[in-house]
Amino acid sequence: MRIVAALFGTMLLVSLAHAAELPRAVEESDYRPANEAQSRLGQLLFYDRVLSGTFRVSCASCHNHDRASSNGFLLDPASAKDVDDLAVNGLPIYDVFKPSSRHAPTLFNLGAREFTSLFSDGRVSEKDGKITSPARNLPAGLRDVLAVQALFPAVTGDELVGSKVESDLSRASHVGDQAVWDILAARVAGLPDYLPYFRAAFEDIEVGDDIEIRHLANAISAFVATEWRSDGSPFDAFLRGRQDALTRNQKRGLALFYGQAGCDLCHSGAFQTNHGYYATASPLWRFDATLADGAGDVPQGRVTVTGARDDLFRFRVPSLRNVTLSAPYGLAGSHKSLGGFLRGHIQPASSLRSFIDQRLDGKTRPDDVAEIERRLITQNQMPSVTLGDDDVSALVEFLESLTDRSAVGGVLGKPQEVPSSLVVE
Ligand code: HEC
Ligand code: HEC
């Protein structure tokens, strides 16, 4: 472990509340070994709309190649042409797929061994080789949490099934998860162009009939695990010894992050997350939400998994890799800018109040909004820190140094075409 103070000399030491430790540099052994043939197959499946009820959505609709594996919704509205292309029964995509209260997270570094819990409430997780998930019966032979995760969009009404549109999948979804998974496996098995990829990836596949949902899930997992690996940012170069990789102000932000501002209490480790769950009292609504009619559906956080009252509104600490590329910020996309989010993050109670006031536009607080606000504030675990505007901008500049431009396009990238011949987005 290196000590920040040692890197910046005694002058900064004076301004540091405590001498903070920097994480070690990311190493090859931090990642699970790759399987190239499976990743290639997974790439096709990830981009193939054949996995949706309506044949209109793929994983990439929300984890978009051109939007740093997120959807960046609203800040970067899809062009009119894209909207037409994605419209289902005349409804724009975000109506059909209910953007819910959230925007899709980026998928960077999920192949690193330490990512054993997925989703903001950790509802898919692995401990001592045992995987926990919301499904009552998981198919056998799923390799890891990413493979388990890959099964869920397919059985979630507002994701790949397309609950508002009648299809064989939406009908099967009333029978059960396995019925949906069977249909998907059969659809893919029915596309002969997939077979060579499956045979290259899995020893137990000879003919189309051998294809099962676990093969699809394991291949998607292999792809997601390797596609958005990201450890080539200026910050990584700095940790590997290149002192000049960061600007002066980024170094100041780094010293604050790992020092006085206490960000590393939660955003610690090689990927800036300790994988814990905390209540931060961040607004649970989008930046353009209207709250005068009520709070709507808000995510409850870790409590949905553990049932423990204390876990209400506790959410997993996100990795901050490439965070500059995935506006809007906060769980629900409550802030358009990183600086705006951070000012709220360090003074949560007052910022939450003013966020809600603004979203009410002079109208009275509905009871449910007032109740959620109260609970968010009583649950809050964020230490309140006083930082000046200069400090916040230094922190933003430090977060910029976590951006790895070379990782954004992915390793395999977006395929030109997929075996179903459906549009690739
Ligand atoms: C309709 C939009 C949508 C589609 C389609 C979709 N996702 Fe997601 N994905 C999300 C959202 C929103 C979350 C965050 C959910 C949460 O944390 O509760 C998420 C979370 C994830 C995560 C967990 C990330 C983390 O850090 O915990 C992975 C991995 C993922 N998706 C992969 C996929 C794959 C693979 C597919 C296709 C099989 C897919 N997604 C399809 C919206 C989508
Ligand atoms: C007590 C734990 C804790 C501390 C301390 C903390 N964070 Fe967070 N941070 C979280 C959690 C949990 C989330 C996700 C929930 C949310 O959006 O508030 C988060 C979210 C974020 C996000 C938004 C990421 C995104 O993709 O939208 C940023 C940026 C961030 N933190 C930066 C910081 C910085 C910079 C500091 C230091 C000033 C800091 N955090 C201190 C727990 C913490």
Q: Residue 382 and residue 266: Cα distance in Å, rounded?
A: 10
> Residue 135 above 70 pLDDT?
yes
How does residue 280 score in pLDDT terms, banded at 50, 70 and 90?
very high
pLDDT in tens, 238-258: 999 999 999 999 999 999 999
How does residue 157 score in pLDDT terms, banded at 50, 70 and 90?
low
Residue in 48, 49, 119 to alter for ligand 1 test, most ligand atoms within 8 A of Cβ:
119
How does residue 73 score in pLDDT terms, banded at 50, 70 and 90?
low
How does residue 133 score in pLDDT terms, banded at 50, 70 and 90?
very high
> Residue 30 above 90 pLDDT?
yes
Would you give the DSSP letter of residue 159? I
Three-point CA angle 412, 415, 417, nearest 5°: 160
Mean pLDDT value of segment 111-132: 95
CA neighbor of 67 nearest in space, from 58, 59, 76, 56: 76
Higher pLDDT, 384 or 402: 402
Contacts 24+ apart (CB under 8 A), 186-192: 187/50, 187/51, 188/45, 188/50, 188/51, 188/216, 191/50, 191/419, 191/420, 192/419
pLDDT for residue 356: 98
Would you give the DSSP letter of residue 26? P
pLDDT for residue 175: 84
Do the beta carbons of residue 171 and residue 246 sit within 8 Å?
no
Do the beta carbons of residue 285 and residue 384 sit within 8 Å?
no
Mean pLDDT value of segment 287-310: 94
Q: How far is CA 315 from CA 157, 284, 303, 319, in A?
A: 23, 11, 9, 12
pLDDT for residue 366: 97
One-letter amino acid of 91:
L
Ligand 1 atom with the smallest distance to the CA of 120 is 17
pLDDT for residue 163: 58
Show the tokens assigned to 294. Answer: 């009520």
pLDDT for residue 91: 46
Mean pLDDT value of segment 53-67: 83
Ligand 1 atom with the smallest distance to the CA of 57 is 5
pLDDT for residue 164: 62
In 239-388, the DSSP E strands lie at 277-279, 314-316
pLDDT for residue 47: 95
Least confident of 61-70, 163-172, 356-365: 163-172
> Residue 86 above 70 pLDDT?
no
Q: Give me the helices (H) in 272-365, please.
A: 303-306, 338-346, 348-360
Rounded to the nearest 5°, which phi and psi values hold at 130? -105, 130
> Residue 88 above 80 pLDDT?
no
Higher pLDDT, 275 or 3: 275
Higher pLDDT, 221 or 179: 221
Mean pLDDT value of segment 114-131: 94
pLDDT for residue 160: 65
Residues with CB under 6 Å of ligand 2 are: 257, 261-263, 265-267, 278, 280, 282, 315, 317-318, 320, 323, 326, 329-331, 338, 341-342, 345-346, 381-382, 395
Q: Residue 399 and residue 109: Cα distance in Å, rounded?
A: 16
From ligand 1's centre to the CA of 17, what distance in Å?
39
Least confident of 30-44, 88-102, 268-282: 88-102
| Nearest listed ligand to the Cα of residue 285 | 2
Contacts 24+ apart (CB under 8 A), 339-342: 339/392, 339/393, 339/396, 341/282, 342/392, 342/395, 342/396
Which residue ranges form the domains of the chain, and what is each CATH number? 4-29+232-406 (1.10.760.10), 32-229 (1.10.760.10)
How does residue 200 score in pLDDT terms, banded at 50, 70 and 90?
very high
pTM over 0.95: no
pLDDT for residue 154: 73
> Residue 6 above 50 pLDDT?
no
How does residue 72 score in pLDDT terms, banded at 50, 70 and 90?
low
Percent of the chain with pLDDT over 90: 68
